[in-house]
Amino acid sequence: MNRKRCEVKPSLRKSRKEIRCLQNTKQAINKTIEHVEYGKRPATEEYANGYLQALHDVQAALNGEKPSGKYWVTPAEMQTLKEIIDASDNIVFFGGAGVSTESGIPDFRSVDGLYNQQYDYPPEVILSATFFQHKTADFYKFYRNKMIIDGIKPNAAHFALAKLEREKKLKAIITQNIDGLHQAAGSENVLELHGSVHRNFCTECNRPYDISIILEMEIPLCECGGLVKPDVVLYEESLNQAVLAQAVHYISQADVLIIGGTSLSVYPAASLIYYYGGDKLILINNSETSFDARVNLLLRTSIGYALGQKD
């Protein structure tokens, strides 16, 4: 089957797809060069596999496909990660939508993310407090279709973090996600900055409800007649101040801060990382962020792969 190669038009204005193709190619080529220069030769089977995968990633990028990213880290980088984690018992993890993409949940701001899809209203408008109040039926239609994913399960990233907590190394998970997958994987101390789809409440009497009422009623109503609202933070709403205070406490006291699966563009949540004052700041992300140059260790790969390989 012929593969469709990405074609960059001779124009100063390039589409998002063309830009992504160029970025993928550049990253894959840079990683291949890094593998070639590291030790000048493939000294181990792991390293040889990484070198070959990097070559495949270059070909994939040139074909307009998304490179795997699985081996876009060197053995030296993985060893550094392992040593940092092994030496600490005060680790905090700060994560975003990218943590759950391997479970089949789309992220928000990537090329194929939720915010780059077409709807009658922009997602930022639909997921606002005003829209919820005035167009409740439309809000819940979108919310059920896009924010509640049936059959999702934790992935390697969730299980790796739960394992670190059981080992008494990870003190807290601070997440921007609302899917509850960290708890499903066994993590206990999870600070949900944006709430959870699994919690809902009556806006009149504050009675709690589980997710079933959202799935069963077009417009979920409490027995008292009040409107039931998901316990998630909508646009125009403030974050829970108690959860924020806990997040600030854990980050400011952390020896190691691992950031993963986030564009670091959602505020005020992203501003929390400025409370970290240590020198073991690790960023694990498949795409570039504005914070890349400030971290002590940058791993351009998936969280599940990076943390799952540390042993």
CA triple 79-80-85, angle to 5 deg: 100
Do 158 and 288 fall within a single domain?
A: yes
Statement to judge: residues 55 and 125 lie in one domain: no
If asked whether residues 123 and 104 sit together in one domain, one would say yes
Last residue of a domain, one of 32, 52, 71: 71
**Active-site option among 35, 158, 182, 194:** 194
**Domain assignment present for 3:** no
**23, two tokens:** 């970025």
Per the structure, the complete domain to which residue 35 belongs is given by 16-71
Residue 6 falls inside a structural domain: no
Residue 4 lies in a domain: no
User: How far is 154 from 163, CA to CA, in rounded Å?
Assistant: 13
Question: Does the active-site annotation cover 182?
Answer: no
Please check whether residues 277 and 299 belong to one and the same domain: yes
Domain boundary among 71, 91, 106: 71
- Where is the domain boundary, 42, 71, 100? 71
- Per-residue confidence (pLDDT) for residue 123, from 0 to 100: 85
Long-range Cβ contact pairs of 276-282 (< 8 A, separation 24 or more): 276/251, 276/252, 277/252, 278/254, 280/84, 280/88, 280/255, 280/256, 281/257, 282/81, 282/84, 282/256, 282/257, 282/258
The secondary structure of residue 75, as a DSSP letter, is H
User: Are residues 30 and 149 located together in one domain of the fold?
Assistant: no
Residue by residue, DSSP assigns 249-280 as: HHHHH-SEEEEES--S-STTGGGGGGG--SS-
Same domain, 99 and 199: yes
For the stretch 192-211, pLDDT in tens is 999 999 999 999 999 999 99
Whole-structure pTM value: 0.76
Q: What domain count does the chain have?
A: 2
Q: What is the pLDDT of residue 45?
A: 47
Answer whether residue 202 is part of any domain.
Answer: yes
Instruction: Say if CB 227 and CB 219 are below 8 A apart.
Output: yes
Q: What is the pLDDT of residues 81-127, one digit of tens each?
A: 999 999 999 999 999 988 998 888 876 554 445 555 556 788 889 99
Same domain, 47 and 114: no
Q: Which residue has the tokens 């409490």?
A: 222
d(CA 281, CA 257): 5
Quick one: 281 and 196 in the same domain? yes
The first and second tokens of residue 200, run together, are 């809902």
Regarding whether 120 and 35 lie in a shared domain, the answer is no
User: Tokens at residue 191, please?
Assistant: 């600070």
Contacts of 262 (CB under 8 A, 6+ apart): 94, 95, 96, 97, 98, 176, 270, 285, 289
CATH number at residue 264: 3.40.50.1220
* Shared domain check, 157 and 33: no
Q: Are residues 210 and 142 in the same domain?
A: yes
Residue 303 and residue 305: Cα distance in Å, rounded?
5
Residue 178 has what pLDDT? 95
The stretches in the chain having pLDDT less than 70 are 1-72, 107-119, 309-311
Residue 9 lies in a domain: no
Does 123 share its domain with 166?
yes
Among candidates 72, 83, 70, which has minimal Cα distance to 35? 72
Give, to the nearest 10 degrees, the angle between helix 45-62 and helix 75-86.
120
Q: Minimal CA–CA distance to 291: which of 267, 309, 274?
A: 274
pLDDT of residue 3: 43
